[in-house]
Every structure is written in structure tokens, then in C-alpha cells.
Amino acid sequence: MDAKQSGEAWIREILDGHKSYCKINFRMSKIVFTSLSRVLETRYNLQNLRHISSREMLGIFLYILSTGTKVSQCRERFQRCN
């Protein structure tokens, strides 16, 4: 695990950065990502866990779907072992 930042920090960077970053990595705008995150939390009870936020969970899921990244590459990107 040698990425320069944690998965949560990377998600924040994507959402706080240029609007194209979110579309490139998640195939949706920041507004849609944020809205989807809220819907999953309020309607479907997606919750933060001890070591991972619901926003990071959504980011990992969308990143895999949108980029076709292998799980092993995703582990490195988000600094997750499992």
C-alpha cells in the first residue's frame, strides 16, 4: 500500500476538485454523486462503518464500475486490504 493518500482523502480531492474529475472517475457529476450518497444514506440506511465512510464505499463501487479496475488495483487506490 503505497498510494500517497487514503481513499477518503482521494474521494474528497475528487469532489472538491475540478468538475471533470468526478465525471472521469465515477461517470457522474459531483451533484449526482452527492445526491446518490444522500439517497443511499436516508432511504436505504447506508451507514459509515468504523474504518470507512459511506461516501468512500460509494466511491469504491462507482470507481470499479466506471473504470473496470481490478479489485487488487482498487485496494491500492483506496488503501484497503480487504
pLDDT at residue 1, as a whole number: 45
3-class DSSP state for residue 2? Answer: coil
Q: What is the pTM of this model?
A: 0.82
Cα within 13 Å of Cα(11), Cβ side = 21
Angle subtended by helix axes 54-67 and 19-26, to nearest 10 = 70
Compute the distance between CA of residue 19 and CA of residue 29 in angstroms, rounded to an integer.
7
pLDDT in tens, 7-60: 888 899 999 999 899 999 999 999 999 999 999 999 999 999 988 899 999 998
pLDDT at residue 82, as a whole number: 58
